[in-house]
Chain A
Amino acid sequence: MVAAVIGVIRSRNLFVVVILGGIYSFLMATVMVALDAVDVAMTEAAVGAGMSTVLLLAVLGLVKTREAPLRHSPFIPLLVCFLTGAVLIYGTLDLPPFGRQDTPTNQHVAPYYIKNSVKETGSPNIVTAVLASYRGYDTLGETTVIFTGGIGVLILLSTSRRRREKQSSKKDSLT
């Protein structure tokens, strides 16, 4: 995965960048299976590796596919990134260790869901039960966000199309 990210940073060909992004996404999905998050892995493989890659390739059909070389030195961004990384790693020293059941993250509502979800919702898949029943309003909000995003995309693309039609009609009237 790290190799894929380095490839994305180094490559100037945008096709290579997009395909490496898809590979990275798919590797992330396999990591998610290893972390027991099977539902998330399925969504990531379908939406992250599939949909995003296809959308990005569709955009590459419309724009230039080579990246211009960097104009300023990458020193300051690198410095900022390494400083951020150092601070974050310092922060991880206080986080709970990996894979233990007695950490605070695994003690709050999760045992309640595991114990009661079959009784209260009738679904053996706890993720489904939480998504559709306990946190149903979150899912409603999520669909609202997607709806807004879809409207935004439609408005942005439709204005450009209208302008192009106007220009072509103007040209027609001139000739």
Chain B
Amino acid sequence: MSLILASINYWVTIILMIGGLYIVVAHGNMVKKLVGLGIFQTSVYLLFLSPGKILGGTAPIISEKFEVYSNPLPHVLILTAIVVGVATIALGMALVVRINEAYGTIEDDEVHEMEQE
């Protein structure tokens, strides 16, 4: 029981991560792949943030009323990661729009077949 409570955050992270990975690997639709990539990314945020939480602590904004603060360093790293993640997704969507113009479809398999012909 204590083991489950001690690492439940990691297990939730892993379940979300596997869901995102499955969408990216198994599905051929590119918009869906991008959503899956986003889910995978968000699970990584959780992986970084959850070890920084201290039970009984508060958000890392200095005040005289509080003594214990959660770890601020993962927050900074993940702030950077969120913004970079949006940049990658925007670039991916521009590629999807271009592929749709060139091939008329956004399914992986159909694009591959057209290339073969």
Residues in A lying within 8 Å of B, measured CB to CB:
1-2, 5-6, 8-9, 14, 17-18, 21, 24-25, 28, 31-32, 35-40, 43-44, 47-48, 51-52, 55-56, 59-60, 62-64, 67-68, 70-71, 74, 77-78, 80-82, 84-85, 88-89, 92-93, 95-101, 103, 105-106, 109-110, 113-114, 117-118, 124-127, 130-131, 135, 138-139, 142, 145-146, 148-150, 152-153, 156-157, 159-160, 164
Count of residues in B whose CB is under 8 Å from the partner chain: 82
Q: Closest Cβ of chain B: how far from A63's Cβ, in Å?
A: 5
Interface of A is mostly: helix
B17-71 residues at the A interface, CB under 8 angstroms? 17-23, 25-29, 31-32, 34-36, 38-39, 42, 45-46, 49-55, 57-63, 68-71
- Cα A127 to Cα B107 in complex, Å, equals 42
Contacts A35-B49, A96-B51, A100-B55: A74 and B76 contacting too (C-beta < 8 A)?
A: no
Are the C-beta atoms of B36 and A126 separated by less than 8 Å? no
Is B83 located at the chain interface by the 8 A CB criterion? yes
Q: C-beta contact mask, B6-17 vs A, less than 8 Å → 1, else 0?
A: 111111101111
Q: B11, B18, B32, B83: which contacts A82 (Cβ < 8 A)?
A: B18
Residues in B lying within 8 Å of A, measured CB to CB:
5-12, 14-23, 25-29, 31-32, 34-36, 38-39, 42, 45-46, 49-55, 57-63, 68-76, 78-80, 82-91, 93-98, 100-101, 105-107, 109-110
**Interface CB pairs A-B, < 8 A, 30:** A2-B19, A8-B39, A9-B19, A17-B31, A28-B42, A38-B59, A38-B61, A40-B49, A47-B86, A55-B90, A56-B93, A63-B96, A64-B106, A68-B28, A68-B29, A77-B26, A80-B25, A93-B7, A95-B7, A98-B6, A98-B8, A99-B54, A101-B54, A105-B51, A125-B62, A127-B60, A135-B76, A148-B87, A153-B94, A159-B98
Q: Which residues of A contact B78 (CB under 8 A)?
A: 37, 40
Are the C-beta atoms of B34 and A62 separated by less than 8 Å? no
Q: Which residues of B contact A98 (CB under 8 A)?
A: 5-9, 50-51, 53, 55
Are the C-beta atoms of B10 and A92 separated by less than 8 Å? yes
Are the C-beta atoms of B25 and A77 separated by less than 8 Å? yes
- Cα A150 to Cα B42 in complex, Å, equals 22
- Cα A158 to Cα B5 in complex, Å, equals 52
Q: A24, A25, A28, A142: which contacts B80 (Cβ < 8 A)?
A: A142
Q: Which residues of A contact B53 (CB under 8 A)?
A: 35-36, 98-99
